[in-house]
Structure 1
């Protein structure tokens, strides 16, 4: 039995990914401790799952944002500030918690720099989890928060380098925190988020058929497809008598952070009325009942079992969040992406690149453009055909079970002798054989 620390942002989409890993790890006999900011909640309850909530540090509260306010949007200021505070909080409090629990390995979300810093400080192996698009640097791929098309030419690579430099400038407050803790703990110099992800192994939900072509720089990426918990599965039907199976059905969701976009939902409803198609909207609890009642869709709900509903749909309208996109493609449903923030422009660009869907920019949304895009997705067969091909790739990717097997492989070859001794109780004979036949290559960079 091994003890694993799981560290991820307090966002629902990231928490669901880590819950799926925890569920599989506990089923295989491991002990799991979540290290989360205060206010984060888990659905899982099990004697072998512990949740440690990090308290906000008074020293960090209200810290100035070093001149960024005059030049950056409030949303970006808030995002950089949140990242910086979480990194500082993790580095202040997590080492003691992990030492007390004799943790064997750290599973860290790629967006939590503190996970990599703490693992290096405690000399623990680190496996990074790409809940969103992988941030692993690749000269042929633009940063994931840009909606640029894939350009493998020298000019494209130069554009990508410029974009990385701009991103580095925008993230400089967070980068200063990373550099501070690396110096504080006597680690090799680390300057940005990319320097804090594992060079041993990064598990990603993004399968190759959804990503831009990557080079050998990303050879340590392990694509496993959607990481989903059994808690997401239901047995009751998701459609009621108001849904006509003979008419096209469209599902729309803007995720848990953008579900308040009432203006977009109203436009979607008007476009679907023009096409005489059915529209089910999930606002993820972000609208009041009064606001929801003003949207003229077939159904407007706070929550709905997304994967089960998508099995009945013809098109999915999404903000480009990776979890929703993977759920739709798993059901072979093409996507109209309306990217709003974070890595969503990058996801939308990949959908267009692989002819898995279309995208419209939120600032250019009109009923006419929405109607045209939806009509094209409903009638052009290539999008459904491409989505069907990708659904087969996703189905064979392995999911949480394959991810846990790779985590155990890293633990076996990089963990302590005590952790390796416990594998006789945890692993099957066949899995042990795979581990022994597949030695893991040490990091080229000396990072955890």
Structure 2
């Protein structure tokens, strides 16, 4: 039986593109899929066969120029920037998104990315079944894991759980207290009761949580909700990709360096990596994430640059990925068993990179601006020590054996079969 799915994503590549395989598979199985997101994502949405529903112009923005849309953001870093993003990019607009979604013809199931805050609010208001597809490290609090945003790792027993309880309390009552007030003010404005909850826990309040990473990448949690399913990261099917002229240079040791699509200043990771490896016996492929290739000139003789390149075509040939720690890029590397060198502290990168180091799949340089020397040393270490690649393979193989897209789509269909459309929390 055909089901009406409504997808809701933040208008950023890392929040939207990971959901496209699931939408395409739902369409292939005969379901209707509508997708509410920003205008820059329209082509990717339409390519899945879904119907594109643009968010209002005043809520849309250019992910490559967040400072224009959210003045003052670029001056912040670490926890202050994380709190700024939480309040200004995700929570404050959520009321308008909630109103827009509530005015649409009702869907059978609503699917959001991790930060589509209005999605669990819809369930609370209307009872519509909702699902989250996790495109970040797990955010909801746990006694077994440190709070999100700190870039911390678990410590040994018997102190780990006590420390985490203390930190979770401090983060909720102190660090995120202003964000709790913002969330509750928005909720009250749209007719929902104040909740006084950690805003980072909202995504966990959907009925189905599909995490796009293997369980071996996450910190072990004895209090993990039963509705959380680790899928691993989907690998794109091989296509008739027109390979560039340099493709035959992928026979030796290959290093791929990228900064994703949001933090695209080449001075952060791209240029230092090219400088660090210029005289090494490796072939370097630099992916700018959309920034002009000319920004990297002059390129060393052992390097090439592309604005975009299909990573799933390239990664089987790669020995090390150097990245600032975007979740999607790291998960793609894991899916191909490729070890990493990571350097980034903005957005969720502290938490991603802490997990890279904790799982043994790479080296975390713990900075936003690594030196060429530090990158060169780290890359040489990863290339020389096969334990990093073995760890990447082990983490990859901790994911279920089923195809992530097929398994995730099965679970979405199961959720649809359970729909009741009774309000969960009332107004």
Contact 1:356 1:383 in 2 (8 A): yes
- In structure 2, the CA distance between the partners of 1:335 and 1:11, relative to structure 1 (3 Å rule), is same
Contact 2:147 2:168 in 1 (8 A): yes
Alpha-carbon distance between aligned partners in 2 of 1:240 and 1:167, rounded to the nearest angstrom: 51
Aligned to 1:125: 129
Aligned to 1:202: 209
Contact 1:12 1:256 in 2 (8 A): yes
Post-superposition offset of 1:239:
5.7
Alpha-carbon distance between aligned partners in 2 of 1:321 and 1:412, rounded to the nearest angstrom: 34
> Which residue, out of 102, 106, 112, partners 2:116?
112
Aligned to 2:412: 407
Instruction: Name stretches of at least 5 consecutive residues in structure 2 with no aligned partner.
Output: 60-67
Alpha-carbon distance between aligned partners in 2 of 1:261 and 1:327, rounded to the nearest angstrom: 21
- In structure 2, the CA distance between the partners of 1:370 and 1:409, relative to structure 1 (3 Å rule), is same
Contact 1:87 1:177 in 2 (8 A): no
Aligned to 1:15: 16
Q: How does 1:6-405 map to 2 (within 5 A)?
A: 6-37=7-38, 39-45=40-46, 49-56=50-57, 77=84, 80-97=87-104, 101-165=105-169, 167-168=171-172, 169-183=174-188, 184-187=190-193, 189=195, 191=197, 192-227=199-234, 233-236=238-241, 238=243, 240-241=245-246, 243-286=248-291, 288-296=292-300, 298-363=303-368, 365-394=370-399, 396-405=401-410
Post-superposition offset of 1:8:
1.4
Give the structure-1-normalised TM-score.
0.81
Greater C-alpha radius of gyration: 1
Alpha-carbon distance between aligned partners in 1 of 2:287 and 2:49, rounded to the nearest angstrom: 33
Alpha-carbon distance between aligned partners in 2 of 1:236 and 1:141, rounded to the nearest angstrom: 41
Give the structure-2-normalised TM-score.
0.85
Alpha-carbon distance between aligned partners in 1 of 2:312 and 2:303, rounded to the nearest angstrom: 19
Contact 1:141 1:212 in 2 (8 A): yes
CA RMSD of the aligned region, Å? 3.2
Q: Secondary structure at the match of 2:111?
A: strand
Alpha-carbon distance between aligned partners in 2 of 1:254 and 1:402, rounded to the nearest angstrom: 30
- In structure 2, the CA distance between the partners of 1:73 and 1:392, relative to structure 1 (3 Å rule), is closer
Contact 2:258 2:322 in 1 (8 A): yes
Post-superposition offset of 1:202:
0.8
Post-superposition offset of 1:147:
2.0
Instruction: Name stretches of at least 5 consecutive residues in structure 1 with no aligned partner.
Output: 418-444
Alpha-carbon distance between aligned partners in 1 of 2:251 and 2:192, rounded to the nearest angstrom: 65
Alpha-carbon distance between aligned partners in 2 of 1:41 and 1:152, rounded to the nearest angstrom: 47
